[in-house]
Amino acid sequence: MNISDLLGAMVQSGMAPSTNQRMQNAMGGGGGGGLLEALGGLLGGQQGGGLGDILTSVLGSGGKDLGGMLGEVLDQAGQAVGGKQNLAIGGLGALAGSLLGGGGKSLGGALGGGVMALLGMMAYKALQGSGQGTGQVPLGLQEPRTEADKQELEKQTELVLRAMINAAKADGQIDEREVQRIVGKLQEAGADAEAQRYVIMQMQKPAETESLVSAAQGQPELAAQVYGASLMAIEVDTAAEKAYMDRLAADLGLPPEVARRIEQMVGMQSA
Write the pLDDT tens digit of every residue in 62-116: 444 454 556 778 788 989 999 888 988 778 877 887 887 755 444 555 789 999 9
**Is this prediction's pTM over 0.85?**
yes
Q: Quote the pLDDT of residue 32.
A: 47
Over the chain, what HEC string results?
A: CCHHHHHHHHHHHCCCCCHHHHHHHHCCCCCCCCHHHHHHHHHHCCCCCCHHHHHHHHCHHHHCCCCHHHHHHHHHHHHHCCCHHHECHHHHHHHHHHHCCCCCHHHHHHHHHHHHHHHHHHHHHHHHHCCCCCCCCCHHHECCCCHHHHHHHHHHHHHHHHHHHHHCCCCCCCCHHHHHHHHHHHHHCCCCHHHHHHHHHHHHCCCCHHHHHHHCCCCHHHHHHHHHHHHHHCCCCCHHHHHHHHHHHHHHCCCHHHHHHHHHHCCCCCC
Q: How far apart are CA 187 and CA 17, in angstroms?
A: 19
The domain ranges of the chain are 3-265
CA–CA separation, 124 vs 137, rounded Å? 6
Judged on CB neighbours under 10 Å (0-12, 13-18, 19+), 62 is middle
Q: What is the pLDDT of residue 144?
A: 93
Q: Are 120 and 13 in contact (CB under 8 A)?
A: no
pLDDT tens per residue across all 271 residues of the chain: 789 999 988 888 878 889 989 998 888 765 444 666 655 555 554 444 555 555 555 554 444 445 455 677 878 898 999 988 898 877 887 788 788 775 544 455 578 999 999 999 999 999 998 888 888 999 999 999 999 999 999 999 999 999 999 999 999 889 899 899 999 988 888 889 999 999 999 999 999 999 999 999 999 999 999 999 999 999 999 999 999 999 999 999 999 999 999 999 999 865 4
User: Which pLDDT belongs to residue 106?
Assistant: 45
